[in-house]
Structure 1
Amino acid sequence: MQSWGHTRLFSPWDVLVDEAAARLLDTAGWDAPAAKRLPYGRDLVADYLVPLSETPELATRIRYDSRVTAVSRQGMDRTRSNNRASAPFLLRVHGANGTTEQLARAVIDASGTYSTPNGLLSSGLQPAAAAEVAENITHALPDVLGTDRSQFAGKHTLVVGAGHSAANTLLKLAQLADETPGTTITWAVRSVSPVRVFGSENDELAARGQLGTAVHDLVRAGKVALVDRFEIDDVRPAANGRVEVVGRRRREAASIEADVVVNATGFRPNLDILREMRLSLDEIVEAPTQLASLIDPNLHSCGTVYPHGVDELAHPEPNFYIAGMKSYGRAPTFLLLTGYEQVRSIADELAGNKEAARIVQLVLPETGVCSTALPTSDGTLPVAAAREGDSCGTPAAAAATGSCCS
């Protein structure tokens, strides 16, 4: 989280603090931030997570400088079934004192996805000459106005991606361009229009809607050159230390030359550490199978997520769960509120409170936008995929009206 600490969140404090955490903090004399203030990522750490970790209930239970590199069952790989449920989990942990192995009754993998971005190419792969262009490609949410400023000042940056990470970076780059002559910005997206970023006046998170409006204004003012319907096939070295991003636009060959490319194409879960776990993951978005149909953008194009908890997060491996952003697999629009309710439900299940675990209440602020659809082969917008509960009609209609699914 510290790696994007320079980024301001669009969710105010009153929807970032978990109720159970607030009770612990209040008992410890916590000075709660103003409810409607929008924190930076670093504030979330310093003003919330650090004080929470220092409460008497948690201080002795958290282990630092530790990274789980593998999860299995003691004495069992994934192929063995006899007495599997009664065998403790075996966690291989790398820490300051080397690698150790620890046993556990249950495992909740909430390790996130930020460290494993999606591939930059439309194929999902990395460039063929990845090592040669590595210095020209950055992760999502670089610190454009701070520690990474010299990488962007006076240069041409191509931002790839149609999500809110891209929007944040575009706004910072535009500010840098105002301050530093020669700084230029291009924004490439695969969709016909980045309506999910542009947002809607009906967005229930005001700052999220304002973020989209600000980016839209930059495009209309010509400060950001938007290249839509651009499918990237490769990134190659070019002259003068630049790179050439090659691909197709509206079925015609196209290319963009840039000094820096920001890969804001989203994230994917790291499943390598779970190779010995019996998982039930959707074949498309790599989310738990029962959750996937609620969040797959191919089926569910709105910001609404229906209440879900332990039942939707369960796997064939008893007492093993994936929660938080990692539970969404490759799907976007995860909010902290979702993770809090997920973990609350799982915790009740593990404590034996099975009825409470299934009383799931999750009401998320809607985006007011109903389309992230890609164009069809002829460049037109497809009709939204029909699913029970969806009422958007076509993405074009949804974008025009600002309406969303029920």
Structure 2
Amino acid sequence: MDRTQGTRSLAGLLVIWGLTRLALLLFVFKVLVFPGPDVTSDVSVIYQGWYEVLRTGTFPLDDVTWQYPPAAALPILSPALLFFLDYAQAFFVLACLADLVVLALLLYAGLRPGRSVRGAWVWVVGVPLLGPTVYARYDVMVTAVAVAALLAGQRHPRLMGALAGFGAMLKVWPVLLLIGAVRRRAWAAATVTAGALAALFALAMPGAFAFLTFQRDRGTEVESLGALVFHVARHYGWDGQVLLNYGSVEFLGPYVDVVSSAALALTGMAFGWLLLWRLMASRFLSHTLADAAFVAVLMFTTTSRVISPQYMVWLVGLAAVCLCFPRSGMRLPAGLVLAASFVTVLEFPLWFSHVVASDALGITLLFLRNGLLVLATLTAARTLWRSTVPRPTTKAPFPSHPARTEETPVSS
């Protein structure tokens, strides 16, 4: 009976994946129209423009919207594999295939003894909550690499490190997957992989690291946590502007640099907390690697000067990996991320005009989405600390009976 129920549950999961992904494809192929601004223009205009430049053997040196590590050229060039489709159509199909790869990895991990398919359900439900934006950005491809890295981490640290290093050269953030790695082989493999790719691109294509300057000069994007200051301030006489800047809609004007610096300071504090946790932690369980990666990416996403909708794909993917482990304590943070994903599709693209206008609806949506992310970050960090850092023992003021002072030391 249990086997029959398990088969039905798996069949239901696959059916839901198929139906929801068909809907996403219909939206990006414009068979159906999703409300709000067209999210596919990034592919058909920006990505395809980069594609034409990259084909000539150089990076887009004069385009400040190119803000990615050099290996990002690979997903931008990948639609050439499906030469029988036009660029945008090929990209959407490949994004869907990356989505399928993530599902396959989560099912493979979740169906093993002592694991859970709950992670696969998180992915199946979480991705469509974000709407068609998921298939109109290359972040789902990076997330597939990150999920593969985390699931390989426990048994194959070198493979995990190589995948994390490759992911970092795609979009930087996968380097955070290593925060909970206890084996030096993972760090060594990541360093060698990232270094080899960096050297290869630097020698083969001009402008491989121009993205560093472009990233440095970014301001405060309208969906970020710090942007809430200006959304409210606009109602009290702040005379700044909302403009398309460095590829995103940002606030420009008085005190923007102060808020941007504060966001960087928060990110630095997050890094300090992670470093302290790494020094204090001594109890590393099977799920600690995934939990630590989830916490690290949550921290850096929430404190970032930019919280684009596609960033939520990273969090959904990492939350799904955590929930492949039944003993992981990340159920509540994962639920909060799913809730934040639903609010994200409301603020972009559905009611993005209200966000840009800083009206009551736009501000409410941002407070809700960013509040959920802050709450998810705090609860996830607290859970990680309590599950890995042993509590200090206090000595009794008077000698007590040996039978009542037994304590088993925690092994690292």
| Alignment TM-score, normalising by the size of structure 1 | 0.23
Hey, which of these two has a bigger chunk of helix by percent? Answer: 2
Higher relative contact order (CA 8 A, sep 6+): 2
Larger strand proportion, structure 1 or 2? 1
